[in-house]
Amino acid sequence: MYRFAFEYLKTWKDKPGRKPIVIRGARQVGKSFLARQLGIELFDQIIELNFEKDTDNAELFKSNDPQKILSLLELKLNKTIIPGKSLLFLDEIQAAPSVIPALRYFYELMPDLHVAAAGSLLEFALKELTLQMPVGRIEYLHLGPMQFEEFLYASGRDKLAVYLREYSLKDSIPGPIHTELMELFKKFMVLGGMPESIGTYIKSGSYTQAEEAKHSIISTFKDDFAKYGRRVRHDRVKKIFEKIPALLGNRLKYSTIDRDEKAGELSKALDLLCMARLAYRIRHSAANGIPLGAETRDSVFKVIFLDTGLACSILGLGLLDLEKVGDLMLVNAGALCEQVVGQHLLYSHPFYQEPDLFFWSREKPNSSAEVDYLISEGTKVIPIEVKAGKTGTLKSLQMFAREKNCNLGVRLNSDPPSVVDAGAIFSGIKNGSFTLLSLPLYMAGQARRIITDFSKG
């Protein structure tokens, strides 16, 4: 299945000063598949080691001399490794943390050899690593679930995928095309972005088999809880994992998870889920400027799940449930739409950038407000709402615009794209102008690009 990250890896392959690359992300998002695809398509051979299946392979990387390491690998594998023509792929590298510092020597002493690594639960290994990290001598690729456009490619709807990737606000979307994209997006929300779920559906055409695949993934995640360490009880991790889909769209309060548990203990359990990239804290930002992370309140946050399809499975929602509701914005009071937009925004950064996302809220008597997401575009802070309804109902967005002298806001909903001069409604803003950019949900993955193009005029 085609992944946008593959294009990034192709650029990495030929980049001057290339460093060993480590693919980071949750289990089952396609890290190993991506590396193997690179090796098969662009190299004469791929030399793959799996440290989870064979931890003894770590013994081969004890030397500081990469030439000695390659000699040992050639002896064990009975293969000749040729820099420039061979891809050395170190899979499940988190199972052999001592190998990670050795990556620096390939960069320093054998830069012609292409080295890629991948690992689930890698953040745990990095946190506990007692050896010196190869800072500045490795680079990262952050991989999340498949995006909607990647789902379209996998489904054989290439022309629609290209249409979205090339869409400009100058273009209008015909009603039948909009309807078709909304129906496909509804299907995507249920299937989710996990490659196994999408692949199973594409091969079988069966939602039941795709659902079985998703539940298998969920079980695999739960089996991993025992690997999270001894400091936090695994039942607490499981409790939060299963509760998050029902809490989407709301600020997280630990009392809503279990009143009898201490907040500090539940917080530690959530930390582990975030380290495993099964959940993400969406932190509050004061939004007075960039970077958005400079003015955060870490005690105030929302949580989104790894993937919309897995969230649907835990909530017991299927395609028929979404079709009965009609408007996707009404499913779970819009929380599921907020989830799917959030996971697209998280991974719409360049692949080398750590995924992060923020929101804004104001709490004053008779004047509370909350904006779902904040992103930055150049020096500007852009508020994003996932909301149904008319322009005049966006009270929180109006309040944010007035307080921050913001002149551009974005709404994602079920309607076709539109650009509205809302200055008359959003009164009290500096210069008296406000533009509301409204995008359909199926453009969540294109939102950053469209905002950038619009800002450039």
Residue 455 tokens read as 């800002």
Rg of the chain over Cα atoms, rounded to whole angstroms, equals 23
pLDDT digits (tens, 9 = 90+) for 31-87: 999 999 999 999 999 999 999 999 899 999 999 999 999 999 999 999 999 999 999
Band of residue 326 on the pLDDT scale cut at 50, 70, 90: confident
The pLDDT > 90 percentage for the chain reads 74
The least confident of 227-231, 245-249, 381-385 is: 227-231
Residue-by-residue DSSP string for 183-242: HHHHHHHHH-S-HHHHHHHHHH--HHHHHHHHHHHHHHHHHHGGGS-SSS-HHHHHHHHH
Q: pLDDT averaged over the chain?
A: 91
| Cα atoms found within 13 Å of the Cα of residue 235, Cβ hemisphere only | 2
| Euclidean distance between CA atoms 201 and 219, whole angstroms | 19
Report, as an integer, the average pLDDT of 80-107.
Answer: 93
Higher pLDDT, residue 3 or 260: 3
By CB neighbour count within 10 A (0-12 exposed, 13-18 middle, 19+ buried), where does 294 fall?
Answer: exposed
Q: Which residues sit opposite 87 in a β-bridge?
A: 46, 114
Report, as an integer, the average pLDDT of 188-210.
Answer: 96
Higher pLDDT, residue 394 or 131: 394
| Euclidean distance between CA atoms 381 and 358, whole angstroms | 11
Residue 111 identity: P
Q: In what order do the strands lie in the sheet with 418-421?
A: 296-305, 279-285, 358-362, 369-377, 380-386, 408-413, 435-440, 418-421
pLDDT of 428: 64
Residue-by-residue DSSP string for 255-270: GGT-TTS-HHHHHHHH
pLDDT of 128: 67
pLDDT at 131 over 60: no
Domain 4-142, what fold?
Rossmann fold (3.40.50)
Band of residue 11 on the pLDDT scale cut at 50, 70, 90: very high
Band of residue 429 on the pLDDT scale cut at 50, 70, 90: low
| Euclidean distance between CA atoms 271 and 383, whole angstroms | 26
| Euclidean distance between CA atoms 305 and 336, whole angstroms | 10
Are the beta carbons of 237 and 228 closer than 8 angstroms? yes
According to DSSP, the β-strands at 296-305 and 279-285 are antiparallel
Report, as an integer, the average pLDDT of 310-339.
Answer: 86
Q: Where in the chain is the domain with CATH 3.40.50.300?
A: 4-142
Report, as an integer, the average pLDDT of 132-141.
Answer: 81
Residue 114 tokens read as 């292409």
pLDDT of 318: 87
Residue 261 identity: E
pLDDT at 389 over 70: no
Q: Where are the alpha helices (DSSP H) in 47-157?
A: 66-77, 103-109, 122-128, 148-154
pLDDT of 286: 94
The pLDDT > 70 percentage for the chain reads 94
pLDDT of 231: 66
| Euclidean distance between CA atoms 353 and 346, whole angstroms | 10
Which range of 105-119, 381-395, 396-410 scores highest in mean pLDDT? It is: 105-119
Q: How many other CB atoms are there within 10 angstroms of residue 30's CB atom?
A: 25
pLDDT at 363 over 70: yes
Are the beta carbons of 281 and 299 closer than 8 angstroms? no
